[in-house]
């Protein structure tokens, strides 16, 4: 099993007292499969994604990714795991504004020491970015930026792709096109995909679907 969450609980302190966002979550994801995470706003979807990526640590339970217990791993250990095994795609794209498209595409792969120029070029071509390599993020449309973000994620050949509302900022047609590309390329790399989405239509295109409500899987 590539990703396992066992009895995971996460609580945040708020002005009105502690707020439990995830409450005893159990979840598993096999390599090469995809899972859609749905639920209403505030149900804990993004938090679950963040814990799976090792961006945050669970208060209780454990998260295992590629044989590593993220709950007990050090900050630098989790960072190394993110670098080498995880790819993240966000709704806001979160490209690096100071780097051009080519540098953005190669960034994580180079950071992880797994940069393959031929593979990156292939991704750029498939994603329709070959003509945009010298541009900066602010010069791209939303759809183009998200394609760069997907390319950046896949260029490092991660074992797990975590996508948080990757088409949330795009219109339906562009969103569908981007998602098609992402699913195709994820399949091509053999990575597992965990995607957070509000849309049942998009969720239905993935292998499995899990719905969260008030921090629990329903």
Binding site for another protein (CB under 8 A): 12, 41-42, 46, 50, 53, 55-57, 75-76, 79-84, 88, 90-92, 94-99, 103, 106-108, 110-112, 115, 164-165, 168
CB of 12 to another protein, least distance (A): 7
Structure tokens at 93: 């794209």
CB-neighbour burial class of residue 4 (10 A; exposed 0-12, middle 13-18, buried 19+): middle
Distance separating alpha carbons of residues 6 and 9, to the nearest angstrom: 9
Q: What angle separates helix 101-112 from helix 142-155, to the nearest 10 degrees? A: 20
Q: Which is nearer to another protein, 34 or 46 (CB)?
A: 46
Q: Which is nearer to another protein, 152 or 186 (CB)?
A: 152
Q: Which is nearer to another protein, 19 or 28 (CB)?
A: 19
CB of 113 to another protein, least distance (A): 9
CB of 147 to another protein, least distance (A): 16
Q: β-strand 17-29 against 3-14: which pairing, if any?
A: antiparallel
Q: Which is nearer to another protein, 95 or 186 (CB)?
A: 95
CB of 71 to another protein, least distance (A): 14
64, 101, 154, 188, 201 from 69: Cα distances, Å: 4, 34, 24, 27, 33
CB of 90 to another protein, least distance (A): 5
Q: Which is nearer to another protein, 61 or 158 (CB)?
A: 158
CB-neighbour burial class of residue 155 (10 A; exposed 0-12, middle 13-18, buried 19+): buried
């Amino acid at each position: 099993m590539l990703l396992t969450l066992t009895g995971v609980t996460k609580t945040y302190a708020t002005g009105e007292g502690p707020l439990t966002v995830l409450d005893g979550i159990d979840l598993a994801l096999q390599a090469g499969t995809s899972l859609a995470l749905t639920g209403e706003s505030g149900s804990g979807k993004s938090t679950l994604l963040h814990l799976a990526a090792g961006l945050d640590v669970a208060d209780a339970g454990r998260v295992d990714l590629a044989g590593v217990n993220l709950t007990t791993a050090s900050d630098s250990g989790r960072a190394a795991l993110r670098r080498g095994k995880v790819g993240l795609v966000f709704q806001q794209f979160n490209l690096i504004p100071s780097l051009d498209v080519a540098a953005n595409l190669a960034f994580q792969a180079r950071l992880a020491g797994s940069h393959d120029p031929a593979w990156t070029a292939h991704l750029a071509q498939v994603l329709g970015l070959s003509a945009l390599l010298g541009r900066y993020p602010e010069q791209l449309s939303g759809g183009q930026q998200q394609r760069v973000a997907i390319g950046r994620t896949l260029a490092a050949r991660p074992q797990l792709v975590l996508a948080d509302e990757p088409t949330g900022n795009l219109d339906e047609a562009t969103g569908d096109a981007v998602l098609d590309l992402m699913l195709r390329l994820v399949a091509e790399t053999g990575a597992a995909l965990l995607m957070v989405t509000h849309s049942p239509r998009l969720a239905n295109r993935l292998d499995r679907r899990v719905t969260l409500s008030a921090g629990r899987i329903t």
